[in-house]
């Protein structure tokens, strides 16, 4: 996802969330802040159809954890699903 995708991701996200009785409603600035990729914080990927139109997206956030009392490994890098909209199932 890049800055050019914020508008369409905003539309996709709010369109999806509006299906629920209780939901957040994001403005474009919030989508930009929360979903634009930042190294070690959040990653968002968009899927484009053959015409170059964004149809889907997936995001996840990173949460590193310390590993205590291990000789070799000191850090566990974990990614958790954040927001996603899947319209294209093929």
pLDDT at 88: 81
**Is residue 10 within 8 Å of residue 26, measured between CB atoms?**
yes
Q: Give the chain's residues under pLDDT 70.
A: 90
Helix (H) / strand (E) element for 16: namely: helix 6-17
Neighbouring C-beta atoms of residue 84, cutoff 10 Å: 15
Structural domain boundaries of the chain?
3-85
Q: Which CATH architecture has domain 3-85?
A: 3-Layer(aba) Sandwich (3.40)
Please state, in angstroms and rounded to a whole number, the distance separating the CA atoms of residues 3 and 9: 10
pLDDT at 10: 98
pLDDT single digits (tens) 33-52: 999 999 999 999 999 999 99
Please state, in angstroms and rounded to a whole number, the distance separating the CA atoms of residues 56 and 48: 7
């Amino acid at each position: 996802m890049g800055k050019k995708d914020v508008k369409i991701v905003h539309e996709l996200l709010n369109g999806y969330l509006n299906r629920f009785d209780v939901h957040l409603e994001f403005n474009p600035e919030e989508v930009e802040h929360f979903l634009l990729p930042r190294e070690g914080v959040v990653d968002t990927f968009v899927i484009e159809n053959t015409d170059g139109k964004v149809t889907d997206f997936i995001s996840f956030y990173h949460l590193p954890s310390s590993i205590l009392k291990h000789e070799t490994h000191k850090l566990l890098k974990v990614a958790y699903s954040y927001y996603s909209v899947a319209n294209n199932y093929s």
